[in-house]
Structure 1
Amino acid sequence: MTKFRTIKLVLLILLAPAALAQNLQRSMQSFTDKGEHLEVVTNDGRYLIKPYSDKIIETSFIPNGERFNPESHAVVLAPSKLKTQVKVSVAGIEYAIAGMLVSINKSPFQISYAYKGKPLISEKNGYAKKDGAEVLDFNLDASEALYGAGARALGMNRRGHRLPLYNKAHYGYEERSSQMNFSMPLVFSSKMYGIHFDNAPIGFLDFDSRKENVLAYETISGRKTYQVIAGDSWEDIAANYTSLTGRQPLPPRWAFGNFASRFGYHSETEARSILDKFTAEQIPVDAIIFDLYWFGKEVKGTMGNLAFDTDNFPQPKKMMADFAAKGIKTILITEPFILTTSGKWNEAVQKNILATDKNGQPFTYDFYFGNTGLIDIFKPEAKEWFWNIYKELNNSGVAGWWGDLGEPEVHPSGLQHQGGSADQVHNIYGHNWAKLIADGYHKDFPAQRPFILMRSGYSGSQRFGMIPWSGDVNRSWGGLRPQPEIALQMGMQGMAYMHSDLGGFAGANLDDELYTRWLQYGVFQPIFRPHAQEEVAAEPVLREQKIMALAKTAIELRYRLLPYNYTLAFENNQQGLPLMRPLFYEEPHNEKLFAVSDSYLWGHEFLVSPVLKAGAKEAQVYFPVKNNWFDFYTDQQYTGGSTQMVALQAEHIPVFVRGGAFIPMSRTIQNTSHYSSRELDLHYYHDAAVKTGQGKMYDDNGETPQAFEKGAYGLLQFSSAVKRQQVLISLSSKNGQHYQDVDRTLSLVLHNIQSKPHRVLLQNKALDFVWDENKKLVSVKLVWRKNTKPVVAISFRK
């Protein structure tokens, strides 16, 4: 509704149902439809209700005496021009936007939200001040499960907890951690809606800790703004939330390979030796990560040097160039702390790039690494200073960045940043640090995709290309068990590349079974990066022969799955879909799945069940109901909707493929510099119950930012059809105008073919094929000529 009108409403005291009679002290006095938003005046302030789309609506409350602050650190979506409608009744008003409906009860005042006729959530008391905090609270249904609040280890359903919104490292955590490096003011409900509280200062999210069916957001200050996000499916909700806060850019393709990493490599000689071992053992590796020792001989006293220690790294440019010539990227750790004993302390003070005390002097304090100041990431001069260091090192050959301790790890409340106190900006420090690097690449290295590994961030940090990890987890089975939960939760919240230090980080625990199972899980998580304290080796080339062989098998599979995994990254980039997805994405109304995290979907086609207990011989696996599933390693079929016991094997964890799925795979390579889509293995999992199937594979050069938007991409499309005594496999491609298509050699493998084909035809010409009666496989080799749409017909006798 675009017509500007103001309606003064007579205040009516109505007998409301008990569920609505929440706050008798609040009432609506008037409203104004301003076209792009609705303004509602209450006795204690005013509400601005603004639609962003037909599935996202924002509500802001401005208490009397305050001004509206329009600045959001999370939201990037521009509101769409939408047709709205206001309907007035004696009880209140209804504000309708396509599928979304906002209902406002006059007195007692209450706002409620619905989507396509289904109630989502309602304010309880709405805004209130309580115990020095500002609070927004909401009514919950008794049965809904709650997710969100960033990274925690609490169990998949986080209802019942009051969670601090304060990014904080938890060294050596295991199965339970209520406070970790990411604390995002974001909630998702099993009723299929989300609420994002769009405010940076610290506070709490209370997920009904008092068991009164109340959700509450508490903050020390700032905006009283939240967005309600609805959708028709979980995939739709993920797309809507990431359209609001931004989508993750495609990482460089090498990011999906294996990394050599530990805390840490002390010298160039040590680093070269490790990489030589990977080559000798023919274990694929794409990058090496340097921890603290690249800038200092000791852990303490050197942080902030931000320059190679030339004693142990005498020729860093040559070292990195030599690595790059072998296809291996160099990643350096950086921290935002400048120690008073570091080589850059005087420069940092002189150039005024540090956070200050209330008198404007550099704020110094002690923490584990020494006496320190903190870079004020919010100051323009500090951003320029910090970026110039990154820029110089990038020009020297550094290919990626690790931002550590970015909560910040120690951040005294008395410290002042430009634009706010430590507590006001604490949770967006890492977010703005990632933005600094992303913006710098966009300006100075526009042809290079950044790699930004960071421990802490905020809502929307994904749009800067931030790749988060789950912190300093204990090297134990208790440390492994919550990792799927953490990654699944963060994927739901836009941070789809959440992953763990494979093998565990903290402690000198040598447990070969744990190490192996963690790496096998790592094949099916977003980033494959073994990393640990150096007392026990994280690198597979330093483990005993049997364990190294198992690790090598896992790493080689990771590389063979590169076409599939890279396509998942493309889906995330374009649609906001997580790479790891909870089972309730598949069955959103199955309450038994609301708390499940020990099995998950890897993309759409894989079901993965990590081994999370020592000595386990079998695992209970639920198979989602929509399809039959096939063991990835044996092709054994499992019926959708069933729960079955699966025997465990030392060589791999249980992995299953959806009936009707296409899985594109590549050949084993030493690193992604040797990757080519000219030779592919395409696996099709035939299921007679699936009459038509579809798949795809995204391809680009692995380097160009926004390759899809620039038309520098190929999208290979696969489809299947079952017709009488035939299985038809159709191949086509949809290529951008700047993509150079090529002829491809394709090894097509059809699984679950119960009888020997009578013949196999390509464009009506006979093809040689191999029929494996024991494994029920049909294998065909063909050349897929560029710019053609071949059809392979597998025919059977009647």
Structure 2
Amino acid sequence: MKHYITYIFLLVTALLTSQNADRKFISVNEISNGLEVHVNDGVYTIQMYTPEIAETSFLPTGETAMAASHAVVLEPNAINVQVTERAEDILLKTNGLYITITKSPFQISYYYKDKHVISEKAGYAKNDSLETIQFEISKDEVLYGGGARALGMNRRGHRLQLYNRAHYGYETHSELMNFTLPIVMSSNQYMVHFDNAPIGFLDLDSKDDNTLTYETISGRKTYQVIVGESWYDIVDNYTDLTGKQPMLPRWALGNFSSRFGYHSQKEVLETIDAFRAEEIPVDAIILDLYWFGKDIKGTMGNLAFDRDSFPNPQQMVKDLKSKNVETILITEPFMLTTSKRWDEAVEKDILAKDTIGNPATYDFYFGNTGIIDIYSNTGKQWFKTIYKDLAQLGVNGFWGDLGEPEVLPSWVKFEAGTADEVHNIYGHDWAKLVYESSLEVSPDKRPFILMRAGYSGSQRYGMVPWSGDVNRTWGGLQSQPEIALQMGLQGLAYMHSDLGGFAGANLDDELYVRWLQYGVFQPIYRPHAQEDVASEPVFRSEKAKELAKQAIELRYALLPYNYNLMFQNSQTGTPLMRPLFFEEPNNPDLYAYSDAYLWGKDILVAPILKAGQKEQTIYFPKHSAWFDFDTAEVFEGGQTKTIPTKEQSIPTFIRAGAFIPMLRPQQSTKLVENQTLYLSYGHHNSVTQSRREFYNDDGKTVAAYENRNYQILNFEATYKGRNLQFDFDAETGKMFTAKSRSIDFTIHNISKRPKYVKIDGKKVEFFYSEVLKNLIVTFPWHTSEAKTIKLKLKN
């Protein structure tokens, strides 16, 4: 302990030259789970939520405390906090974080289990136009965060504007996009979340002086430092703080039919009929803005079906349901003065105001508009009624577009504050409104909410974000893995892209196919584009259609694996797409690497991002061997290999010792009940023990796990000597009915035909391929009972 405190003192002393010399320590008081530190210009409050989450707030003299956080939902836990005041400093210690407050010059520093995390530099300061909080960082840290950007994985060196704004037609570089989150994550394995909504900047050492600065126009001077034993722990802790994402309906993992846009009821039904005729799976169709008007301009705000083009929307939704297809409608928060509802909006006082209290109006691309004040009770309830009426028609998903908001002059006033104060949380609170509306109509049905903008913690409203109007080019595709990986780190794990690209009339079948192949391993599978080039595979060339169909069928085959990823995310916040530094946190070569990533724990994916690419160079994470998904060829971990590409798939590899459950592809995710489970296992001599769990429920009910309406299939492998044993069992919730499943079990990398295979002690017939070096055994399994499969291997 003496050595540890000496280390802290020396490190703090080394940083003192850069502190705010004008801030003077006065006194300290202990409070529940923390400290209150009085200085000459205000009061610092340091509170521990958990041993891994510390919150620090500064309240300047003469100011009153701000309203509650828009991001944080966690209540501080009662934990053991030890406080020691000494002549030169105050020490606050938990069994995780350790905080020092140096008295002169004043400074706050954070440590985690004897390792320095971060220190305030100048701390809080108020400048001419911005309030800032400044930190000292080490010279070699790689920094992530700031929301959705196309900047490369390492965002250090950038001053990032915090102002949600669409970037139409971006490609490999975008400084500012739809999701700007006040979050920084470091390769040193910590996160800082600035808990404040108004607009500002996040300066990630743009002056190259080892300084991290949060800048804002106003608001709370609050941040949380979040740590953990691993990247998984950090994301888990952050999503504990800001809310876990509830499970989506299972159909959300299927294929979407989407374009800008479908002009009529007839076109909608004919499009789905084309999917069914081509036997290409599809689970949902998204109607863009033509559902409420024939023209792009002048009709936004109608928010009711145009009966000329959609004469019987209720019947259309019913017809789609009969084909196992869900209907999703676009909505926007803008109310044009030419809308059929404008007079109603003014009369019912649902709009944000100008500086003299009249409905605020201004021009943008779609016309002269007002914007719904979702912070006023009248605006909120009116908008909720719109969603409830549509839900009662049978609409099962909503798309919130332009919710940055796309255009929002600073002079506009909302009940909750100025435009600049609510700009970055408008999409967040709009998602909350839609989420609540959906549950008020159908309390037991999981909502589906697609949103173009949001804020820290938006995941708790079931938000599904996407990466905006990306260009339909190879450059547009190249930025997508980075954007999705970054957003997964920041809690929004369902970030995905318009598959095929959105902007521009670029008819490139190779690009289209490679984007759809990448989409198999991104959270939401949704081809979407401007209508001058079809986004739906059924309207592409025969070759593109066939290759797209193969990709979509693989997506459906992986449904049991993917559904388990959804469950894991709902419980731990773990992103579906994971950067390789999750696997090797101490490997600096991976800190900025996004050429390959993990889809869940066990699937390694390396998308093809360039035209005519004949080979792909891939790093295989160490501590594991990896099986080629198509050929079962084994690659040892810890090496970089260049492999030839294939037209029909992108490079995909399975971790040795992994169980991968699959289904025969169906035309809808709703057709999976009682299907044969195709289970594969990659045997490797290095893996002596392996266990995986796969979650299942009815695919639609809210809180199925919490209400014990679920089943978890457990698969375990044990390898010792010449014995390879598999144990299957299931954890079945009391509200779930255990059923019999037909299991088709493939075991890869068996070099010789086994002497025998036994199931529950009885020898059984099996198929063995000397060419493929695999074994297949088929058997029934009633999941209420355990089952054991034993192989006796030959030397």
TM-score, length basis structure 2: 0.98
Aligned match of 1:367 in 341, 364, 368? 364
Shift of 1:90: 1.7
Distance 1:677 1:648 in 2: 36
1:673, 1:262 → 2: CA distance?
23
Given that 1:620 and 1:645 are in contact with CA atoms closer than 8 Å, whether structure 2 keeps it comes out as yes
Choose the corresponding residue for 1:547, options 532, 544, 553.
544
Give the deviation of 1:677 after TM superposition.
Answer: 5.0
Any idea what the Cα deviations from partners look like across 1:658-717, whole Å, max 9, x if unmatched?
A: 000000111110001111254201110111100011112110001100100000000001
Instruction: State the match for 2:165 in structure 1.
Output: 168
Q: 2:518 is paired with a residue of what secondary structure?
A: helix
Structure 1 residues 41-69: Cα deviation after superposition (integer angstroms, max 9, x where no partner): 01111100000001000000001111122
Q: Give the equivalent residue in structure 1 for 2:13.
A: 17
Give the corresponding residue for 1:246: 243
1:436 corresponding residue in structure 2: 433
C-alpha distance in 1 between matches for 2:585 and 2:786: 37
Q: Tell me the CA shift for residue 293 of structure 1.
A: 0.4
Q: How far apart, CA to CA, are the structure 1 residues paired with 2:464 and 2:31?
A: 40
Q: Following TM superposition, by how much is the alpha carbon of 1:443 offset from its aligned partner in structure 2, in angstroms? A: 2.6
Query: What residue is the counterpart of 2:443 in the other structure?
Result: 446
Per the TM alignment, residue 36 of structure 1 is displaced from its structure 2 partner at its CA by 3.1
Aligned counterparts of 1:15 and 1:75: Cα–Cα separation in 2: 31
Q: Which amino acid aligns with 1:153?
A: A
Describe how 1:528-677 pairs up with structure 2 within 5 A.
Answer: 528-677=525-674
Matches within 5 A, 1:214-613: 214-613=211-610
Structure 1 partner of 2:717? 720
Q: Which SS does the other structure have where 1:180 is aligned?
A: coil
Match of 1:87 among 73, 84, 87: 84
1:145 aligns with 2:142: yes
Flag structure 2 segments of 5+ consecutive residues without an equivalent: 1-9
The letter for the 2-side match of 1:256 is: L
Secondary structure, aligned partner of 2:13: coil
The one-letter amino acid paired with 1:98 is N
Aligned partner letter, 1:331: I
Q: Shift of the alpha carbon at 1:442?
A: 2.7
3-state secondary structure, aligned to 1:26 = coil
Q: Any unmatched runs of 5+ in structure 1?
A: 1-13
- Superposed, 1:676-695 pairs within 5 Å as 676-695=673-692
| SS, match of residue 728 in structure 2 | strand
Partner in structure 1 of residue 5 of structure 2:
none
Q: Report deviation, 1:271.
A: 1.1
The Cα shift of 1:786 comes to 3.0
d(CA) in 2 for partners of 1:411, 1:382: 17
Structure 1 partner of 2:731: 734
Offset at 1:735? 1.3
Q: What secondary structure does 1:299 align onto?
A: coil
Question: 1:282-318: per-residue Cα shift (whole Å, max 9, x none)?
Answer: 0000000000100000000000000001001101100
Worse-superposed segment, 428-437 or 61-70: 61-70
Structure 2 counterpart of 1:198, which letter? D
How far is 1:130 from its partner? 2.1
Q: How does 1:53-64 map to 2 (within 5 A)?
A: 53-64=50-61
User: Contact 2:201–2:214 (CA<8 Å) still a contact in 1?
Assistant: yes
Whole-angstrom CA distance in 2 between matches of 1:440 and 1:262: 26
Equivalent pair of 2:392/2:441 in contact (CA under 8 Å): no
Amino acid at match of 2:638: G
Distance 2:462 2:168 in 1: 25
The answer to whether 1:48 aligns with 2:45 is yes
- Please say if residues 471 and 500 of structure 1, whose CA atoms lie closer than 8 Å, have aligned partners that are also in contact: yes
2:391 and 2:438 in contact (8 A); partners too: no
The amino acid of 2:647's aligned partner reads A
CA drift at 1:35: 2.5
1:148-172 deviation per Cα after TM superposition (whole angstroms, max 9, x unaligned): 0000000001000000000000000
The answer to whether the Cα contact below 8 Å between 1:363 and 1:415 also exists between their aligned partners in 2 is: yes
Within the candidate set 12, 28, 33, 2:25 is matched to: 28
Whether contact under 8 Å (1:111, 1:123) holds in the other structure is: yes
**What is residue 73 of structure 2 aligned with on the other side?**
76
Mapped contact 1:665–1:680 kept (Cα < 8 A): yes
Contact 1:678 1:743 (8 Å CA) reproduced: no
Residues 677, 699 of structure 1: 8 Å contact kept? no
* SS, match of residue 319 in structure 2: helix
CA–CA separation in structure 2 for the residues paired with 1:188 and 1:786: 42
Give 1:595 shift: 0.2
Indicate if the aligned counterparts of 1:174 and 1:473 stay in contact, CA closer than 8 A. yes
* SS of equivalent to 1:19: helix
1:772 equivalent among 766, 769, 772: 769
Once residues 591 and 677 of structure 1 are traced to their aligned partners in structure 2, the CA distance between those partners, rounded to angstroms, is 46
Please tell me whether the aligned partners of residues 496 and 578 of structure 1 are also in contact (alpha carbons under 8 angstroms). yes
Maintained 8 Å contact 2:729/2:783: no
Q: 2: CA distance between counterparts of 1:36 and 1:109?
A: 22
Supply the distance in 2 between the matched residues of 1:594 and 1:80 (Cα, whole angstroms): 33
Secondary structure class of the residue paired with 2:15? coil
Identity of aligned residues (%): 56
Structure 2 residue 786 is the aligned partner of structure 1 residue 789: yes
Offset of residue 557 of structure 1: 0.2
Deviation string, structure 1 residues 209-244 (Cα, Å, up to 9, x no partner): 000000000000000000000000000001000000
For the 8 Å contact 1:475–1:509, the answer to whether it is kept is yes
Deviation string 1:606-625 (CA, Å, 9 cap, x unpaired) is 11000011111001100001
Aligned-residue offset at 1:104: 0.6
> Aligned partners of 1:683, 1:218: CA distance in 2, in Å?
51
The count of corresponding residues between Structure 1 and Structure 2 is 786
Q: Hey, what does 2:6 align to over in structure 1? A: none
Q: Structure 1 residues 677, 25: CA separation in 2 closer, same or farther (over 3 Å shift)?
A: farther
Tell me if structure 2 keeps the 8 A contact 1:666–1:677: no
> Is the aligned partner of 1:211 residue 2:225?
no
CA–CA distance in structure 2, aligned partners of residues 696 and 778 of structure 1: 22
Q: Output the CA distance in 2 between the equivalents of 1:36 and 1:110.
A: 20
Deviation per CA, 1:374-406, whole angstroms, max 9, x where unpaired? 001111111110111111111111110000000
How much has 1:98 moved relative to structure 2? 1.6
Q: CA deviation at 1:180?
A: 0.3
The answer to whether the 8 A contact 1:685-1:752 is kept is: yes
| Alignment correspondent of 2:3 | none
Whole-angstrom CA distance in 2 between matches of 1:786 and 1:392 = 41
* Cα distance in 1, alignment partners of residues 754 and 12 from structure 2: 71
Which amino acid in the other structure matches residue 17 of structure 1?
T
| TM superposition shift of 1:755 | 0.9
Contact 1:579 1:602 in 2 (8 A): yes
Aligned-CA RMSD value: 1.2
Shift of 1:15: 13
Letter in 2 for 1:448: K
Moved more, 677-686 or 623-632: 677-686
Q: 1:678, 1:742 within 8 Å by CA — same for their partners in 2?
A: no
How far apart in 2 are the matches of 1:721 and 1:623? 24
**Contact 1:169 / 1:180 at 8 angstroms: preserved in 2?**
yes
Distance 1:665 1:463 in 2: 29
2:7 is matched with none
Amino acid at match of 2:669: T
Q: Distance in 2 between matches of 1:785 and 1:290?
A: 42
